[in-house]
Amino acid sequence: MTIFHAVVPFVATAAILAGGYGKRLRPLTHNTPKPLLTVGLKPILIWQIELLRRYGVDNFVLCVGYKKESIKKILGDGSSLSVSISYAEEEEPLGTGGAIKNAKRFLESEEYFFVLNGDILTNLDPTPLIRHVRERSLVGSIALVKLPSPYGIAYVGEDDLVDKFVEKPLLPFWINAGVYCFSPEVFDYLPDKGDLERITLPLLAEKKLLAAVRYKDVYWRSIDTHKDLDEARKEVSYLERSLGS
């Protein structure tokens, strides 16, 4: 197993947004919250915790709502994963921004903290996100990855003859990878109820308080649909190798 050392002792805490309904993954999510769906032998949440633990994060806040008791039962206080886990519980859906704000009591004393969407699988190193926030006195930074085409692409010459096909290439656009680093100032910009992506991030961008880190040649997949889950399960051996699992 590859040994990773903690390289960011000043970011020891991460919040994971794990409260959604996972409607597009029904019926799998009728009884199981999406972050507990397994890829390989592990739930998505455990993949995420193990990734961040490799980079020095040992304190986690899980923002939970739908089927929260299932998550609490499986992960408990985190001791089985050699981390500490607290829970910010929602009694009603608060959106991604509201969920982070609901976790304020766990995060406001941190100098910086990571936030992850609870439905992504990745091997990206989150530590470069810290540099912009710390050195440029910003409120946050966001990981970006290239947008993969869901379809094959046809290249056509000037003679209208097809030159070649490329299956599902990366497109020349950058998308939100669902991995962030924030300072506690972000709580001034979070809604009580509403989405980080629709409210907070555009506001920070408008005020020039949000930096971006573009990640190339990393594994990243958002688990939104049955097809995504099927693809992730096919790719699990690559993910394990890339993480030294």
Residue tagged 């999510």 (tokens):
29
Helix then strand then coil, % of the chain, to nearest 5: 35, 30, 40
Name the DSSP class of 150.
S
Four-residue CA torsion sign, 175, 181, 186, 187: positive
pLDDT tens track of the chain, all 245 residues? 333 444 444 568 999 999 888 788 888 788 889 999 988 889 999 999 999 999 999 999 999 998 999 999 999 999 999 999 999 999 999 999 999 999 999 999 999 999 999 999 999 999 999 988 998 989 999 999 998 888 889 999 888 889 999 988 888 889 999 999 999 999 999 999 999 999 999 999 999 999 999 999 899 998 988 988 888 888 888 888 887 76
Single out the residue of 191, 199, 182 nearest to residue 108, CA to CA: 182
Name beta bridge partners: 39: 42
Options 168, 207, 208, 227, the catalytic residue: 168
Options 3.90.550.10, 3.40.50.720, 3.40.630.20, 3.30.160.270; CATH for 13-148+175-243 is 3.90.550.10
- 208 tagged catalytic: no
pTM: 0.88
- Closest by alpha carbon to 45, among 28, 26, 25, 68? 68
Q: How confident is the model at residue 171, as a pLDDT? A: 83
Between CA 243 and CA 240 the distance in angstroms is 5
Identity of residue 227: K
DSSP tag of 6:
-
Yes or no: say if 140 and 210 are a contact pair by the CB < 8 Å rule.
Answer: yes
The interaxial angle of helices 44-53 and 226-243, nearest 10 deg, is 30
CB 1 within 8 A of CB 243: no
| CA distance readout (Å), 133 to 18, 113, 137, 151, 197 | 24, 10, 5, 36, 18
Q: Domain residue spans in the chain?
A: 13-148+175-243
